Amino acid sequence: MPILILADHDNVTLKPATAHAVTAAGKLGSDVHVLVAGRNAAPAAEQAAKLAGVAKVLLADDAAYEHALAEPVTALLVSLAPGYSHILAAATSVGKNVLPRVAALLDVAMISDITAVVSADSFERPIYAGNAIATVQSADTVKVITVRTTAFEAAAITGNAPVESVAAVADPALSSFVSAELSKSERPELTSARIVISGGRGMQSGDNFPLLEAIADKLGAAVGASRAAVDAGFVPNDYQVGQTGKIVAPDLYVAVGISGAIQHLAGMKDSKIIVAINKDEEAPIFQVADYGLVADLFKALPELQQAL
Amino acid sequence: MKVLVPVKRVVDYNVKIRVKADGSGVETANVKMSMNPFDEIAVEEAVRLKEAGKATEIVVVSIGPAQAQETLRTALAMGADRAILVQTDVTTEPLAVAKVLKALVEKEAPGLVILGKQAIDDDCNQTGQMLAALLGWGQGTFASKIAAGDGKVAVTREIDGGLETVDLKLPAVVTADLRLNEPRYASLPNIMKAKKKPLETITSDSLGVDVTPRLKTLKVTEPPKRQAGIKVPDVATLVDKLKNEARVI
């Protein structure tokens, strides 16, 4: 039986996370279908059709799906589920919101945030903020899974799958969209950037984040933050890297004024190269850093910007 | 409006966990246990709703071993009115927990259920969504703000791109994210008072729910360890290393 992936998109653009889920699905050894549920979402569907390994794109175009509300999208997925062995989504805020609801209605266990496919019924997933890796096996008829995007490469854009329309199903009308306040940035998205530079409590204030941004712009990097910096109101929540924020694994991660709490390490320790800049030489971040610089960040950051 | 808040007893977030030598799981014997931090936020939010006159009674529930009574007492000390322990020694999965909670919701008839968005032990992030599904209720996950109104609740959610606000018809399920509030510390007088608040213990069988796990854990291993690298003396050396050694810039 084929595998169904719920696409993450904003109707116009397919989120890169979906391309990573396609790669994970490819390891299961069946045809991969991608469901794009949205409103006027043909552009997103066209992009999904270009992902290598996708056999078919299902496009459900209806006002009810415009904002990916959990209840209507779940109803649609549950109606499609009987034809599929696995239902996947990237572990984004959409996937995490929708898939447990689907699993419960199908009366199956759900497997969150897989980092490896062992076989069609067995998967590795991190537990305890990534301090242990569990291998779990599911005997359920349909396996409902979210995929940690950093653990799988993005599928190439070499495909040419057909796009097929599917009918919307009745909207349970339990919730309605009110508004969204999205961060606007010219920089790359945190979860798909090749370089990430993050600030922590040591930044002292949101007013000091331009120091990081100036370097980010020189490197083409995304800007992130620790939970401490977000909690202190320096930057918005969508900057947060960590166990409960975003999971990133860029080629280069630069942690500035971040002590390195377990919860933060959980979100970035799979980065290829880690740089830590912190004035406290005992900070735990140095235990995972490839290159550590013990320095006052207010002196080091302008120097770094000059040197690049 | 009655508010139901499920809470989980987990290994304290400050504990450095150890994987058991036989690969069967994580060592939890003789380890400090606490209330899941996201659940503390959920309890706090319920207490604030009560203080604001929007909630009439707060019932806290835990599904777990006898020791989960301590977790429930903590919630009572924070301001919950009454507690229910569904006692089981089985390691319960989110689906089983959601089924137990559904049975309790049908008995208690709350107008709102607030849960933590995920437990920091299994990191599943499933239970609230599953409960909402089984009840046929709307869900507001990863909440950073809750505004209860007449017959509905507005939930501001932390999403990948920023924030999103949705209106949910009541009754509904909301899951708490980090920035919903800062939970209070229970005062000593409130801890003493909590000892006298009602705590009922029941079994999952009495609710007619099968809590047998569906997933089989084949093994639990330590993640690959990352080696500490080197310290560089200055910015110039750092840039040189990144360019010529790591070749990432």
State pLDDT tens for residues B169-223: 999 999 999 999 999 999 999 999 999 999 999 999 999 999 999 999 999 999 9
Instruction: Give yes or no for B177 touching A (CB within 8 A).
Output: yes
**What is the predicted pLDDT for the residue at B206?**
94
Position A24 scores a pLDDT of 98
Locate the chain A residue with the closest alpha carbon to B176: A244
Distance between the two ends of chain A, CA-based, in angstroms? Answer: 52
Nearest alpha carbon to residue A267 among A63, A109, A131: A131
Helix (H) or strand (E) holding B238: helix B235-240
Mean pLDDT of chain A: 97
Interface residue A129 vs chain B (CB under 8 A)? yes
Taking only the tens place, the pLDDT of each residue in B109-147 is 999 999 999 999 999 999 999 999 999 999 999 999 999
As a whole number of angstroms, the distance between CA B80 and CA B93 comes to 25
What are the strands of the beta sheet with A291-294, ordered from one edge?
A222-225, A195-199, A252-256, A273-278, A291-294, B230-232
A308 contacts A300 by C-beta, under 8 angstroms: no
Residues in A touching B127 (Cβ below 8 Å): 100
| Average pLDDT over every residue of A173-184 | 95
Band of pLDDT at residue A183, cut at 50, 70 and 90:
confident
Helix, strand or coil, per DSSP, at residue B232: strand
A13 CB near a chain B CB, below 8 Å?
Answer: no
> Using an 8 Å Cβ cutoff, are A258 and A276 in contact?
yes
Do residue A132 and residue B230 have CB atoms under 8 angstroms apart?
no
Q: Are A87 and A144 in contact (CB under 8 A)?
A: yes
Separation between Cα atoms, residue B189 and residue A103, nearest integer Å:
43
Say whether residue B147 is in contact with chain A using an 8 A CB cutoff: no
- Beta carbons within 8 Å of A266's beta carbon, 6+ residues apart: A126, A129, A130, A131, A242, A243, A247
* A83 contact B CB<8A: no
Nearest to A286 by CA among B231, B67, B198: B231
Nearest CA in chain A to B36: A128
On the question of pLDDT at A124 being above 90, the answer is yes
Task: Reply yes or no on whether the pLDDT at B108 is more than 90.
Answer: yes
Cα–Cα distances in angstroms (integers) from residue A306 to residues A206, A214, A255, B67, B238, in the given order: 22, 10, 18, 57, 13
Smallest CA–CA separation between B51 and chain A, in Å?
A: 24
E strand spans, B70-214:
82-87, 112-116, 138-148, 152-159, 162-169, 172-176, 199-203
Q: Name the 3-class secondary structure at B52.
A: coil
Answer whether B81's CB lies under 8 Å from B57's CB: yes
| pLDDT per position as a tens digit, A204-222 | 999 999 999 999 999 999 9
Which of A67, A128, A265, A294 best probes binding to B when mutated, by most B CB atoms within 10 angstroms?
A128
**Which of B179, B217, B248 is facing A273, going by the closest CB pair?**
B248
CA A22 to chain centre: 13
B 18-57 residues with CB < 8 A to A: 19, 26, 38
B 61-80 residues with CB below 8 A of A? none
> Distance between CA atoms of B180 and B158, rounded to whole angstroms?
10
Mean of all residue pLDDT scores within chain B:
96
Residue B20 pLDDT level (bands cut at 50, 70, 90): very high
Asked if residue A61 lies in contact with residue A40, where contact means CB atoms within 8 angstroms, the answer is yes
Residue A125, H or E segment: strand A122-127
Q: Which residues pair with A12 in a beta bridge?
A: none
Give the CA distances from residue A214 to residues A20, A221, B97, in Å, rounded to whole numbers and listed in that order.
30, 10, 48
ipTM of the shown complex: 0.96
Closest CA to B6 of B100, B124, B121: B100
Check residue A170 and give its pLDDT: 96
Local structure of B47: helix, strand or coil:
helix
Q: Does pLDDT of A184 surpass 90?
A: no
Flag whether residue A104 sits within 8 Å of chain B, measured between CB atoms: yes
Distance CA A279, CA A168 (A): 56
- The partner residue sitting opposite B238, judged by closest CB among A69, A98, A291, is A291
Name which of A122, A175, A292 is nearest B138 (Cβ-Cβ).
Answer: A175
- Across the interface, do B95 and A104 touch by the CB < 8 Å criterion? yes
pLDDT confidence band for B228 (50 / 70 / 90): confident
Q: Does A87 touch chain B (CB under 8 A)?
A: no
**The pLDDT of residue B227:** 85
CB contact under 8 A, B163 and A108: no
Bridge-based pairing state of the strands A252-256 and A195-199: parallel
Q: What is the structure's pLDDT at B18?
A: 96
